[in-house]
Amino acid sequence: MKQSTEIFVLPPKWIPNPPVWENYVELFRVIPFLRFFWNSTYVTILATAGQVMSCALAAYALSRRKFFGRDVIFYTLLATMMVPGQVTIIPRFLIMRALGWLNTHLPLYVPFFFGGPFGTFMLRQFFFSIPRELDDAALIDGCSQFRAFWSIYVPLSKAALTTLSLFIFMDVWNDLLSPIIYLSSPDKMTLTVGLTYFKGQYSTDWHLLMAGAVVSIVPTILVYLFAQKHFVQGIMVGSVKG
Find the CATH number of the domain harbouring 95: 1.10.3720.10
pLDDT tier at 233 (50, 70, 90 boundaries)?
low
**Sign of the alpha-carbon torsion through 127, 128, 133, 136:** positive
Packed helices 33-64 and 22-30: angle between N→C axes, nearest 10 degrees: 80
**Structural domains counted in the chain:** 1
H or E element in which residue 229 lies: helix 228-241
SS3 199: strand
For residue 76, pLDDT over 50 is answered with yes
Q: pLDDT tens across 111-156, in order? A: 999 989 999 999 998 998 888 888 888 888 888 888 888 988 998 8
CA distance 11 to 220: 32
Give the residue-averaged pLDDT of 14-37. 81
Q: Is the pLDDT score of 215 beyond 70?
A: yes
**CA angle, corner 238, sides to 75 and 136, nearest 5?**
70
Where would I find the H helices in 20-157? 22-30, 33-64, 70-79, 89-99, 106-109, 117-128, 132-140, 145-148, 154-156
- Residue 242 predicted with pLDDT over 50: no
* Confidence band, pLDDT 50/70/90 cuts, at residue 4: low
- Structural domain for 220, as ranges: 4-241
